Chains A and B, each alone.
Chain A
Amino acid sequence: MISYIIRRLLLLIPTIFVAISLLFFIFFLLPGDPARALSGAGDRHVSEQTLDQVSARYGLDDPIMTQFVDYWERTLEWDLGESFRTRQSVNEILGDSAVNSVRLGIWAMIIELLVGLSVGVWSAIRRYSISDRITTILTAAAAAVPVYVLGFVLMYLFAIMPGPNRWDWPEWAQLKTSGIGDDTWAFFFIPTGEQWRFLILPAVSLAAVGTALLARMMRGSMLEVLRADYMRTAKAKGLGERQVVMKHGLRNAMLPVVTVIGLDLGLMIGVAVLTEFTFSWPGLGSEVVAAVEHRDLPVILGLTLAVVVVYSIINLVVDVSYAWFDPRIRFGKGGQL
């Protein structure tokens, strides 16, 4: 197991190198002059002198391979450079925005696991009942509706309609449309004060698709497990339904679901871009959108680096967790992986 984990961690290095390098070179294949975009001229004419000065300031007048080598030399010292647009340290931008994205992601995952798994198990136990059919329809809808559409619908129903211009509900019942508020948290991710009013809508939007997928996956996996011989044996022994399902069935049903959770975490990174943009949540997603729009190369590369590392670690954790769910799986010499 240990050697497997070490091998996977070492594989991270070429993965990061290739991903970042590709992105680096693709940037220079994009049409247009980045110096012009960075000069702030917009549609206005900008003099060659200014363009030269902008290029020199941002190192864009160096040959690409020189810029490439400089970039990696700095990155190995964990200096991710400065934003072209704001001149802020990318390390700082990453730190601030990553924290906000992680908080949002944690809550989205909590919602997905609690709701998705519960609904999936319930649907499997009550298969073909009315409640099963209703959850089937709802999960299909949740999976199909684009996150930005869902976001705006939730915004309308829970922030705009209860607001002072419409129903005028008490303030505590009005959720917020955007932003992060006072940014007050306990134990890193538990919202305090009014914080939760800013968190709920983006977390639910982000969790929607994953919840639907988990629910469907859990239902299918649970149905298979419920038909297994050992489940019949457990019932025959006189164990209650709850004990049979939760102790014997759930753990075995989790294996394929864990794979989906891993994939979902990766998908969540992409969906988070739309969610954060829709709700102006100051996370990695919002930063990525602004960086791409302004061709802010250091920020694009820095955020990609973070995403690649996080995604790889998540996959590793998912793979390792198989061993916990199924003791028959062993890693290392002679093992299956």
Chain B
Amino acid sequence: MRRQRKSSYRLLVLLSIFSLIAAACGDDSDDSNDNGDAATDEATDDGAELDEDKFVSMLEDVCGTGDDPETSGEDGGGGGGGEFVDLGTFAQGPPDTIDPGLNTESDGAQVIQALYDPLTEIVYDDDAKPTVVPKVAESVESDEEGKVWTFKIRDGLKFSNGEQVLPSSFRCAWERASTPGFHGFYGQMFEYVEGGKEKLAGDAETMSGLEADDETMTLTVTLAEPYADFDATVNHATWMPMPTQAILDLGADQQGWDRSMMVGNGAFKLDTERSDQEIVLVPNPEWDGTKYDEALGLESQPLLDKLTFRVSSDIDTAYNSFEAGEGQNGPVPPGRVEAAFSSYPNTQEITQLGTYYFQIGGDSAVAGDDNVLLRQAISQAINREELDEVVWEGSQPPASGMVPKGIPGYEPDICEFCTYDAAAAEAAFQEWQDAGNELSDPVQIAFNADAGHEDVVDIIADNLNAVGIDAEVSPMPSETYFDELSKGACIDICRVGWFADWPAYDNFLFELFHSSSGNNYGYDNPDFDSMVEEARRTLDEDAQGELYREAERLLLNEDIGAIPIATYAGQYIYADGVTMPYNNTNDIDWAKVSVD
């Protein structure tokens, strides 16, 4: 017994020593703190930590004394469109948050779209040419430069607690969502607004570019730089309004908004506080869709009587739940696409505003003006149809450009070298070699490992080898993949996927390929930068579209700075009798959803 006790003590000591060694060796996640200084709990000058007193004080200044809410006293009357259980939105776990100011995920945004109405709506009557239609804003105007935007807010709109929707409702929400120490990832969007950058850095209390006049119902936004697509940007969940009184009542506990009975101005309101198992919505009695533009085609109340978002932890379980008749829609897991289309006639493919592509590493052996023919050969050697059939069961259409259909200004087949042509690829490669070039090492096809891309890169490697281009796959750890790419690790071509936050050309070209963008892993052309910058300032849609298309041609056909592979599409199954309008950003117009 005594010997056993001694052994136990020795083991405990050894484990403790190991812990201390691990502590000494494991501190590689915060290089900036190697000086060992302990951080304090007080607000730092760069606003890194949230000063709760300052936050509350700012909200009180900006949000005013709050409105005196007065509800109609009625229950929301659904249009008899039945009860809808949605299994497709939260098929891989609950949302982190459904607070519009903090949400970063598209699934949470679906609920936000039901609870809140934005300043403008994107209408897809013509798939190829979506239009921005004023919604909560009665009118949207900008100055000639596209720098000062004026939103006239409609009279008579209310939140579900009876508070009026005012210009200050937006200003309050945006100041809240841009507070350092509180804001989520999309808080960075407020850098568009004059004074936003300073506010996010902690150098200013509020954004100087915001003016909210509740008397004249006018919200004026002065941008830091002219930006022609700002009216589309404010459709994003981060720019939703908030009820000022409810926000002030929360005080310092702004994080608590998400788990409380959130109040919105949308077609639905929460029936109960949300849980991690489901989110239940009922019609908002204070909402009247007929107050909006006829172009939006809305009724006075949403068609559904009840809308439940059911959470599943796994996409296969969500699909099984649909098969068991437990919901009205569901996702289609990879590998079951064919079965879904054959078993359920209502299965639908929804094109999404996203592109699967490979970027050329700026410092790689395939970059540079001397290697254009090599890059052309690589792009033409890739059999995109084969990838779609073999890997994605025909569910991800081959890309013919960087920008997918549904983006204003989109034109099909803009990429000259995105069609599979093995003979042309061989010829281009031979021409490149004849010019005195040679590959000293195989072309590296970098990708984030264990994220489902292995089959894709294997096929691409085979395609390249088949035309004489020596290529091999180069897996990198998923956890550090994009960090490493941003530090220059894109060698030679690296896989990237991108979904637009709002339907605008610049959300692809500027965000991915402008030299100032952090998502750009190696493309650098001042001419491209100039074209995109000019397009961002151009208010005329046709002229803007032409500029962006020119820039895209430069990127894809002259420089071959990227190799588009596929356009993202999602597959969803529906029960019989479901009417569910989708648009290309994967947003659902919940007010128009019904079940027969």
User: In the complex the two chains form, is A277's CB within 8 Å of B324's CB?
Assistant: no
Q: Give chain A residues whose Cβ lies under 8 Å from the Cβ of B483.
A: 32-33, 36
Total residues of chain B contacting the partner, CB 8 A? 72
Query: Provided the pairs A62-B39, A86-B96, A174-B324 are in contact, do residues A42 and B104 lie with their beta carbons within 8 angstroms?
Result: yes
Which of B67-75, B308-316, B396-404 faces chain A? B308-316
Among the interface residues A29, A280, A290, which one has the most CB atoms of the partner chain B within 10 A?
Answer: A280
User: In the complex the two chains form, is A179's CB within 8 Å of B310's CB?
Assistant: yes
Task: Mark interface residues in A56-76 (1 if CB within 8 Å of B CB, else 0).
Answer: 110111111110100000000
Residue of A nearest to B22 (CB): A25
Report the bound CA distance from A277 to B314 in whole Å. Answer: 7
User: In the complex the two chains form, is B188's CB within 8 Å of A179's CB?
Assistant: no
Report the bound CA distance from A141 to B143 in whole Å. Answer: 74
Report the bound CA distance from A166 to B483 in whole Å. Answer: 48
User: In the complex the two chains form, is A286's CB within 8 Å of B313's CB?
Assistant: yes
User: In the complex the two chains form, is B276's CB within 8 Å of A282's CB?
Assistant: yes
Q: Give chain A residues whose Cβ lies under 8 Å from the Cβ of B496.
A: 43
Report the bound CA distance from A278 to B201 in whole Å. Answer: 44
Chain B 1-58 residues near chain A, CB threshold 8 A = 12, 15-16, 18-19, 22-23, 25-30, 32-33, 36-39, 44, 46-50
Residue of B nearest to A179 (CB): B277
Task: Mark interface residues in A177-203 (1 if CB within 8 Å of B CB, else 0).
Answer: 111100000000000000000000000
Q: B336 contacts the other chain (Cβ, under 8 Å)? A: no
User: In the complex the two chains form, is A52's CB within 8 Å of B48's CB?
Assistant: yes
Nearest chain B CB to A323 CB, angstrom units = 19
Nearest chain B CB to A312 CB, angstrom units = 14
Q: When A and B form their complex, what is the total count of cross-chain residue pairs whose Cβ atoms lie within 8 Å?
A: 192
Q: Give chain B residues whose Cβ lies under 8 Å from the Cβ of A56.
A: 39, 44, 48-49, 181
Chain A 1-59 residues near chain B, CB threshold 8 A = 14, 18, 21-22, 25-26, 28-37, 39-47, 49-50, 52-53, 55-57, 59
User: In the complex the two chains form, is B321's CB within 8 Å of A178's CB?
Assistant: yes
Cβ-neighbour of A160 out of B25, B26, B320 (below 8 A): B320
Report the bound CA distance from A59 to B47 in whole Å. Answer: 14
Nearest chain B CB to A257 CB, angstrom units = 26
Report the bound CA distance from A62 to B35 in whole Å. Answer: 10
User: Besides A64-B27, A87-B255, 7 other CB < 8 A contacts?
Assistant: A22-B18, A45-B486, A163-B323, A177-B324, A178-B318, A178-B326, A280-B317
Q: List 30 A-B contacts (CB under 8 A).
A: A21-B16, A22-B19, A26-B22, A29-B26, A33-B480, A40-B104, A50-B200, A52-B46, A53-B181, A56-B44, A56-B48, A59-B39, A60-B30, A61-B32, A63-B27, A63-B37, A63-B38, A86-B96, A88-B259, A155-B320, A159-B324, A160-B324, A164-B325, A165-B325, A166-B323, A178-B312, A178-B317, A280-B317, A289-B313, A294-B96
The residues of B with any CB-CB pair to A shorter than 8 Å are 12, 15-16, 18-19, 22-23, 25-30, 32-33, 36-39, 44, 46-50, 93-94, 96-97, 104-105, 180-181, 183-185, 187-188, 200-201, 255, 258-259, 276-278, 310-314, 316-318, 320-321, 323-326, 477, 479-480, 482-483, 486, 496-498, 517-519
The residues of A with any CB-CB pair to B shorter than 8 Å are 14, 18, 21-22, 25-26, 28-37, 39-47, 49-50, 52-53, 55-57, 59-66, 68, 85-88, 152, 155-156, 159-160, 163-166, 174, 176-180, 276-280, 282, 286, 289-290, 293-294
